[in-house]
Structure 1
């Protein structure tokens, strides 16, 4: 009886799991998903053969199309004018429009709040006084209200702690027959093995060559459409390739570098990092000066700092490749690369930016990885 009663509480539960606006370039059709033809072919075959799993895990660099593909797949499954087998959502029916704006009653979404470092447990299983009566896991098991099935997307799966991930295990292992669950993360390694083992993994890669440039141009066009007051310069192919390389395939970082022209900070930072023993004072002054030139707004400064560290990652990767081609290996370079990669986790955990930059510069001088146990 309790389970039946809980199934009638969907209006209250919906407040925490729907109406999420997603900042991703809209796709009108699967032909607009750049650089993922093999993935589309696999999805098409799975849908037409009735073999689409109930729990999917989309992984890949930021900005390569994971969220856009998840939204388009949701439209494909819920469209009122076209069957899923057609792989051609109309984009105009009430269901397609509601999916796009995040208000469809059978479309559930959860993402990490901007002011949190992890996805709160209450978004997954409800608040303490209503455990398993609200939240993502509860809403997934409710009967569809408008369509024949439900689709639930959990954005920011990288930010599940062990307790939150454990709450999802049973739902992922035995999803309702009329529901599809999609988790979106940046890599398989950032997901717990128990999560990976219960999902069908779809890997999104940064497309090479012209496809990669087309994807970056699409990111820039999307940004321009939302910031009409800003005029973006026309980017050459070489400039786009350089931005993609510096970002290590993260299209969000690449777009910021392309918009802001990362040449100046790149050259200045690489000159500092190339020293046998980097000067920590000079590095701190350089990074803080760059952040000050970007904005006083903390989220924008965090994004700019990610861009700086992406540039540093590419410097050390290039140096390791160059050494390897000469049959050499410098463990200090490897430790400095490890330290730079660690900074991304510290940013995600909302570390104080000033302290982070100071510690990073000091660790580079010492060629230390920055592993401080639970703190690092």
Structure 2
């Protein structure tokens, strides 16, 4: 690995005790001793990308998703599993039937073997995304990688906030809308990036925290059965209030190249029935959810999520970014013109 302090390449025997033998400085992570094969330099590189060079703040949860994304995607090869099943099973059946019809035992056995292996590979691939996440839990990432980082550098990587200890700013004096997000990590992410201050947004994590009034309520949720019910439940809890479902809709992640779908237990028929009655989802989305698929907000790239939420807020409220308004007041980013006489 490369020492994050002196940029020297270190063999394993040259970095015992997580200390560089060339500059005698300690580092936090050794790729040989953690399950994600992390190094300080890799953490710095990933954080720089996620924070857009320090312009955006992210949470520990979002960093964890980014670092486990590749393993989850490798394990979640649904398309490959389906392709394997579609290609291997028919060939196996043809060989099996042909071998039995022609009384050729070897061919029939090969057909049976191919079919059995294909089914096993398919079943294994469908559940491997969930196993990939479970093999690298967020709690372990916090208690090992991030704890070691803080012990060496004194704080989390620059631009990363711990959502568990994040202190939300005071609500704005003028509230243009309420943003309801059940994921405390994403609520902290939005608050850390000034959504409340910039647009006059009250951030809450539960419907019963929405203050009485007439401003619209924007609902942000995971692409799962619980999340897809949140907007409807909020409308029922706040009759007469405008409620806008901002997603994450299943269709946004079902076949998106960079999405991270995870398969879990199948939802009950009662839950699916209520979703079907709401007519908020397509048949394809309902089928996807019925198979146990889901995808969390935390897996959405932070910059993309922040931009999407900003667009929804601007559309719903007509509010303008407070920073942009202030800049325009002093002529920032305006076309040069003649001085006023």
What TM-score do you get using the length of structure 1 for normalisation? 0.25
Give TM-score scaled by structure 2 length.
Answer: 0.26
